[in-house]
Amino acid sequence: MKLTVLGSGCAVPHPERASSGFWLEAAGGKLLLDCSAAAVHRMAQEKLDWPELDAIWLSHFHLDHCGGLPAFLFGTRHTPQTQTRKKPLRIFGGKGLKNLLKAFDEAGNYKLFQQPFPVEIVEIEPQEKWEILPGLTAAAISTPHKEESMAIRLTDAGGVSMVYTADTGFDMILGDFARGADLLLMECSFYQNKPVKYHLELTEAMYLTRYAEPKRVMLTHFYPEWDGIDLLEECKRFSPGCEVIEAKDGLVVEF
Ligand SMILES: [Zn+2]
Ligand SMILES: [Zn+2]
Q: What is the pLDDT of residue 180?
A: 98
Q: Residue 42: its pLDDT value, please?
A: 98
Task: Give every CB contact of residue 99 below 8 A, 6+ residues apart in sequence.
Answer: none
Separation between Cα atoms, residue 246 and residue 174, nearest integer Å:
20
Q: What is the pLDDT of residue 13?
A: 98
Nearest-ligand number for the alpha carbon of 147:
2
Average pLDDT for 53-79? 98
Strand-pair partners of 66: none
Separation between Cα atoms, residue 254 and residue 122, nearest integer Å: 28
Instruction: Give residue 47's pLDDT.
Output: 98
Write out pLDDT tens, residues 166-220.
999 999 999 999 999 999 999 999 999 999 999 999 999 999 999 999 999 999 9
Cα 162 to Cα 178, 183, 190, 214, 217, distances in angstroms: 8, 5, 22, 9, 10
DSSP 29-77: EEEEEEE-HHHHHHHHHTT--GGG--EEE----SHHHHTTHHHHHHHHH
* Average pLDDT value for residue range 54-82: 97
Taking the centre of ligand 1 as the mean of its atom positions, its distance from the CA of residue 186, in whole angstroms, is 12
Task: Dump pLDDT digits (tens) for 7-53.
Answer: 999 999 999 999 999 999 999 999 999 999 999 999 999 999 999 99
Cα atoms found within 13 Å of the Cα of residue 239, Cβ hemisphere only: 0
Strands (E) across the chain are located at 2-7, 21-26, 29-35, 55-57, 89-93, 119-123, 129-133, 136-142, 150-156, 161-166, 183-187, 216-220, 243-246, 252-254
Q: Would the pTM count as exceeding 0.95?
A: yes
Question: Please, are residues 133 and 153 in contact by the beta-carbon 8 Å criterion?
Answer: no
Q: What is the pLDDT of residues 220-250, one digit of tens each?
A: 999 999 999 999 999 999 999 999 999 999 9
Query: Residues lining ligand 2 (ion), CB within 5 A?
Result: 62, 167
221 Cα to the center of ligand 1, angstroms: 7
Q: What is the pLDDT of residue 189?
A: 98
Distance 20 CA to ligand 1 centre (A): 7
Ligand 2: centre distance to CA 10 (Å): 8
User: CB under 8 Å to 74, separation ≥6 — which residues?
Assistant: 110, 112
Q: What are phi and psi of 107, to 5 degrees?
A: -60, -30
Distance in Å, CA 104 to ligand 1 centroid: 19
